[in-house]
Chains A and B, each alone.
Chain A
Amino acid sequence: MSQTQRVVVTGVGVVSALGIGESPMWENLLAGRSGIAPIQAFDTDEYRVKLGAEIDSDLLPALAKARSHRRTDRALDISIEAAGQALEQAKLIPEGPKPQEGYLPQEIPVILGSGVGPAQSLYTAFQGFTRKSLRGLRPTTVPRCMANSFSSGISIHYHLTGPNYVLASACTSSTNAIGDAFRKVQHGYASVVVCGGTEAFFDPFYYGVWNNLGVLATETDPTIAYRPFDLDRGGCLLGEGAGILVLESLDHARRRGALIRGEITGYGDSSDATHLTSPSPQGQARAIRAALDCAKVEPTDIGYINAHGTATRANDESESAAIRQALGAAADQIPVGANKSFFGHTLGASGAIETIVTLLSLENRRVPPNLNLDRPDPKCNLHFVGAEPLELEAPIAMKNSFGFGGGNAVLILKRYTESSDA
């Protein structure tokens, strides 16, 4: 345990408004097709905000059935699916339906992030209680509404017997979860960890509280509504999704002959300790510097930044300043991309989904375009990816996540090549 391990990614799974699995997601990203659309889950007549990025609900029953998973909470359902994709890809479970006798036990931890928790179950419980008082509460409300229902659900379904827990740090949640998993593998506490995040909260109540917060875009044209770093940005739009990664020590992956999708080389985290919702460039810059130090890289080594990029006034200005503070003049040359105009802001799942995008960008040597970034805000003085995909030869990228509550988390990712396989 004294020697640190290199940490590689051997499986990814994703469910989002861009489709089920990484292939449709990647195709849609490169084609510039966004998942933002008028909300279908409930009537938005009384809402200022009309748009969001929803998963196609018609697909979910078949997915649950294919995984032999009894449907419970939507965010759990999609995390089970995404975890299944990642575990199959990592060849840790057989492809196809769950074996009749169940999966063999494997001592693998499950660390998930979620800012909201099981919103659908909570909303169902609220509705039942309002309608029928105690008689309206389903007997399984407690296990359905547990914040850790996601990690425990994955652990039980796939028979993963390492520790399981959920980290809650708003929009930083799943990046913290990946960072925690990274450290577990790096320091030898586990050879393999399943990590990531999940969110599904498209109900009249939860969307309502965001509607009233005043940070969502009220533009009704889905093709132009979500515009990170643009001068005319009007705020964020929410999305639902799950992103799951299998992290593994390089030695373990090589012994198994696993397909290596990329490497995580650094993680940094910090707190602003200033304000509940107003971000601090200083706090964010500390997380960026910590990640660079951890990865033992210089600012000039970074070839792409996958930004948090929420498109709120405060975030985009603060993040731009933080990148400038931490990277200095190197920031002049580093292309910055923001994916939330495709996925919506998937809150606690956003870090995991966008980390997967960053890994695919390194692997495929192409970066998805920025949507609706027609006039970059002069206060966001960065070098942005344009409206077309960008070639990416540089092997190292950075993923930022910043959350309400002042939590900041940054990952450094590297393209895996045989030659770097020291």
Chain B
Amino acid sequence: MKRNQLLELFGKIFEESSTEDFDWATVKETTTIEELGFDSLSVLDLLFDLEEALELQIAAKDMLQIGTVGEMLDYLENRLATS
């Protein structure tokens, strides 16, 4: 899956679960996960949704270390490339 497709998938999950006023159209790779409204609990749901969509297993400790959208895409690209 290409990086822009991963971003699109992330956006879809965000739109379905978030109520933040954040406009996804303005998202950048430097946007933080916190700015998207995820906290230490809700990020676990994000992890679950990504696992479901990508058929990956993602360790919670990895997810909790990801700070920005760009880091998330890096992580997912690496995981998909090696899986």
Report A's interface with B, CB cutoff 8 A: 64-65, 67-71, 97, 135, 138-140, 143
Known contacts A65-B19, A139-B48; 13 additional CB pairs below 8 A are A64-B19, A67-B19, A68-B21, A70-B17, A70-B18, A70-B19, A138-B45, A138-B48, A140-B41, A140-B42, A140-B45, A140-B48, A143-B41
Question: Does B29 touch A at the CB level, under 8 Å?
Answer: no
Query: A97 to B21, alpha carbons, bound, how many Å?
Result: 10
Q: Is B60 an interface residue (CB 8 A)?
A: yes
B44 touches A70 (CB 8 A): no
B17, B37, B47, B60: the one within 8 Å of A71 (CB):
B17
B20 within 8 A of A: yes
Bound complex: CA A135 to CA B47 (Å):
12
Residues of B within 8 A of A68 (CB): 19-21
Set of chain A residues within 8 Å of B17, measured between Cβ atoms = 70-71
Count residues of B near A (Cβ-Cβ below 8 Å).
Answer: 14
> Which residues of B lie under 8 Å from residue A135 when comparing CB positions?
57
Residues from chain A with Cβ under 8 Å of B21 in the complex: 68, 97
Q: Which residues of B contact A140 (CB under 8 A)?
A: 41-42, 44-45, 48
Number of A-B residue pairs at CB separation under 8 A:
30
Complexed CA–CA distance, A244 and B60 (Å):
37
Task: Tell me whether A70 and B60 are in contact (CB under 8 A).
Answer: no
Report B60 CB to chain A, min CB distance, Å: 7
CA distance A139 to B20 in the complex (A): 21
Query: How far does the alpha carbon of A307 sit from the alpha carbon of B35 in the complex, in Å?
Result: 49
A70 near B48 with CB under 8 A, answer no
Q: A64-B19, A97-B21 in contact; A70/B47 too (CB < 8 A)?
A: no
Instruction: Knowing A68-B20, A70-B17, A70-B37, say if A139 contacts B60 (CB, 8 Å).
Output: yes
**A143 CB to nearest B CB, Å:** 7
A contact face: mostly helix, strand, loop, or mixed: loop
**Chain B 17-46 against A: per-residue CB contact (8 Å), 1 yes, 0 no?**
111110000000000000001000110110
Residue on A nearest B57 in the bound complex, by CB: A135
Measured CB to CB, the closest approach of chain B to A313, in angstroms, equals 44
Contact of B19 among A69, A139, A143 (CB under 8 A): A69
A-B interface, 3 closest residue pairs, ranked by CB to CB distance from nearest: A139-B44, A65-B19, A138-B48
- CB nearest to B60 among chain A residues: A139
C-alpha spacing A179/B57, complex, angstroms: 48
Contacts of A70 in B (CB 8 A): 17-19, 37, 42
How distant is A100 from chain B, measured CB to nearest CB, in Å? Answer: 9
**Cα-based distance from A143 to B18 in the complex (angstroms):** 17
A66's nearest neighbour on chain B, judged by CB, is B19
Residue of A nearest to B42 (CB): A70
On chain B, the residues within 8 Å of A64 by CB distance are 19
Q: How far does the Cβ of B74 sit from chain A's closest Cβ, in whole Å?
A: 22
Task: Report the bound CA distance from A138 to B57 in whole Å.
Answer: 13
A117 to B42: give the CA distance in the assembly, Å: 21
**Known A138-B48, A139-B47, A139-B48: A71·B19 in contact at CB below 8 Å:** yes
| Residues of chain B with a CB closer than 8 A to A143's CB | 41
Interface residues of B in 44-61 (CB under 8 A from A): 44-45, 47-48, 57, 60
Cβ proximity bits B68-81 to A, threshold 8 Å, 1 near / 0 not? 00000000000000
**B44: chain A residues within 8 A (beta carbon):** 138-140
Min distance, Cβ A78 to any Cβ of chain B, angstroms: 14
A69 and B57 alpha carbons, distance in the complex (Å): 28
When distances are taken between beta carbons in the complex, the residues of chain B under 8 Å from A139 are 44-45, 47-48, 60
How far is A135 from B48 in the complex, measured between Cα atoms in Å? 9
The closest CB in chain A to the CB of B47 belongs to: A139
Kindly provide the distance from the CB of B49 to the nearest chain A CB, expressed in whole angstroms. 9
Bound form: Cα–Cα A64–B21 in Å: 11
Enumerate chain A residues within 8 angstroms of B57, measured Cβ to Cβ.
135
Cα distance, A61 to B19, chains bound together (Å):
8
Contacts of B19 in A (CB 8 A): 64-65, 67-71
Cα-based distance from A67 to B41 in the complex (angstroms): 19
CA distance A415 to B29 in the complex (A): 58
Measured in the bound complex, the distance between the Cα atoms of B48 and A64 in whole Å is: 21
CB distance from B62 to the nearest CB of A (A): 13
Residue of A64, A67, A135, A139 most packed against chain B (CB within 10 A): A139
**Complex Cα gap A135–B18 (Å):** 23
